[in-house]
Chain A
Amino acid sequence: MVGRFRWAAMFPDEVWEHVFSFLTSDADRNAAALVCRNWNRIERRSRKRVFVGNCYSVAPTVAVRLFPEVRAAVIKGKPHFADFNLVPSDWGGGAEAWVEAMAEGWPNLEELRFKRMVVSDDCLDLIARSFKNFKVLSLVSCDGFSTSGLAAIAANCRNLRELNLRESEVEETCLNWISHFPESCTSLVALDIACLEGEVNASILERLISRCSNIMTLRLNHSVPLERLVGLLQRAPQLMDLGTGKFSARHNPQLFSRLESAIAGCKNLRNLSGFWEPGLTYLPAVYSICEGLTSLNLNYATIQNPELVKLISRCKNLRRLLVMDLIEDSGLVAVASSCKLLQELRVFPSDPYDAAEPVSLTEQGLVAVSAGCPMLHSVLYFCRQMTNAALLTVAKNRPNLTCFRLCIIEPRTPDYVTQEPLDTGFSAIVESCKDLRRLSVSGLLTDLVFKSIGASANYLEMLSIAFAGDGDMGLHYILSGCKNLRKLEIRDCPFGDKPLLQNASKLETMRSLWMSSCSVTLGACRQLARAMPRLNVEVINESGRGPLVAQPDNCPVEKLYIYRTIAGPRTDTPQCVWTI
């Protein structure tokens, strides 16, 4: 056995390191690390980028020790359903332990990306002081910090290239944090502050942008008025990615033409977003660069037809479109004929809670785009009605789908023509789309659809289920099938203890499982935790029934989060969370 791998020892470590440096994907490096002990040692010692999909899957100090040469780290915290307020705000995902370990063991860290983590101002302060060559800070869907923390980053990170706060919640404690970027700062390439609620001093921003001649991405928040946008664009005509601030102003032809020419001057513009409170009179100012756009995000823009369609139809080279359901079926038909290169489409509900909303966005729009856009592979679609026939058509048109997330707003809505469950429709999707990686199902669904998913969705990595299924078999089909499943999130389904216990070992092959408002009991959690020491079984009960340890086995579990880990039970659980 030893002889077979002697060739690995023929070359000095540095040679293998150099070879491994050509492996860019984490999966490839992971595979190389499993070949033999030598390769494992050499690979991990030379690894520059590390991805931690669950911050609790490994202890920070262990990760830092195992991979001493890391320059870029991505760490993710809370479960996805935290985005929809299903996870208690004090659940965890704190970044301190990670930042402290990194400050200690990775002094040469250059890039840090957190997602759904709670990052305090102290953390930001520590980051600002600890890494001499810090270049990239990305806080996506994070919270726990304020603009004071941002001021520390601005002031101390001399070589900061990227500051990205996408969809984070930031307290406003320091009014002029932008002014903390020193005059000597010229390194900024990307700045995304669209999520900030407060005022951003546009004059200071203008001066900052002026001296950062390499700025490529600038996403403003709603406080930056149209008048100031002109100045910013004039100083950064090389921009590739622009998020506007407020996109309306009093009717002013001079402002319009200044804006129009400033935008036209940005010949490299590929990504456009923002459009807070859009005024129809100013929309045509962006027409000149529409044809060059590859990505358009109108997620927050309450523009209706016909102006909305007029804008999008000009964007003939669009790869990615995010839009509200104000586009309606007719608008999507126009997209299908204008945007032939479209790869990703997301349609969001403009009025998600209004049950009596008359709708002109139906399954027809989705079918139209599936027919007209041959490169479409990623779909997120909110609507209020669906048919199996439509889903079958989509499946037939687009076997290249890799991501299909359909949300029919009213739970358990059947096929509105036949009144049947949507089993056949979703089954067609998984059977036809052999490369499907991500799927969200909705509407009226029985266990049958899960049988199809379990059997056919061989590359599925993430599955979201809500208000679906008849009983335990539904979950059993999924857990006993779906060979590549990594993340499973379920809410309000009649799935109970049996499928969990029957498929306990499956759970160790996945990153995580979330189940809320299902039929799982405490007893099953206890059994599972006993049988699977490398899983953390976290039970969340917010109704204050008293300590879980005293509850009987048949006590129902409100929310359950199970994830694999080599770090053992975590020590920062709040009152409502119990690691069994």
Chain B
Amino acid sequence: MELELGLALPSSDLMMEKSTFCKKRRFDEVLDENTVTLPLFMQREEDSDSDRGFERSSEELNFGGGRVIVGWPPVKLSRRRTSCVKVNMEGIAIGRKVDLSLHDSYQALFLTLYTMFPKKQHEEEDGGYNSYKVTYEDEEGDWMLVGDVPWEAFIKSAKRLKIITC
């Protein structure tokens, strides 16, 4: 899947003014040279068809280019140092960043995500956003559906977000 017009120019993003910390990152992402393969949403544990005995279960491939390892690097997550989390959307190579502390509810977050990943990027899908799910990686490395836990608990534990097709 080639890069679509997901290269939304940073200047058009409402979030720019509010979070200078996120802003610094975005330019880097736009110019990012990481070649990203088609992101695959990998199921964790309960992977019953691959009973391959002892596997390095602590490493996993992530969309967006980096590897995700539980409990690494060894920093305590009890106090989030920055409330910005990366957001990737399935099929879109360039990720974005969202500042969770600027939102007070899931509704507000979804609105921001809708703004960040406008509909024209995936016109082929019908039903608009009904056919998408937003997931997040929690502090234990598990992928969960956004919306299940109370908002306060969510912003404390979410490390990154991923929008996937259903």
Contacts and interface: CB of A to CB of B under 8 A. Distances in A.
Interface string B32-70: 101000000000010000000110111100000111111
B152 to A, nearest CB: 8
B74 A407 contact: yes
A275 B86 CA distance: 24
A83 interface: yes
Interface stretch (B10-18, B77-85, B119-127): B77-85
Given A353-B159, A356-B34, A543-B45, A411 B76 contact: no
Contacts of A302: 21, 81-82
* Count class of interface residues, chain B: 35 or more
B58 A517 contact: yes
B161 to A, nearest CB: 12
B82 A351 contact: yes
A84 B28 contact: no
The CB with the most chain A CB atoms within 10 A, among B34, B73, B139, is that of B73
Contact of A355 (B25, B67, B76): B67
Interface string A454-496: 0000000000101000000000000000000000000110000
A353 B66 contact: yes
Interface in B111-166: 139-141, 152, 156, 159-160
A198 B125 CA distance: 42
Main SS class of interface, A: loop
Contact of A354 (B45, B54, B74, B86): B86
B74 A83 contact: yes
Main SS class of interface, B: loop
Contacts of B73: 349, 352, 382, 407, 409
A438 B101 CA distance: 37
A195 interface: yes
Contacts of A167: 76, 78-79
Contacts of A409: 73
Contacts of B54: 519, 556
Interface of A: 81, 83-86, 141, 167, 169, 195, 197, 299-300, 302, 324, 348-358, 382, 407, 409, 411, 464, 466, 491-492, 516-517, 519, 543, 556, 558
30 contacts: A83-B74, A84-B75, A85-B77, A85-B141, A86-B71, A169-B78, A195-B79, A197-B152, A300-B79, A348-B75, A348-B81, A349-B73, A351-B25, A352-B75, A353-B66, A354-B66, A356-B65, A357-B28, A407-B73, A411-B69, A411-B72, A464-B74, A466-B72, A491-B58, A492-B58, A492-B59, A492-B69, A517-B56, A519-B54, A543-B45
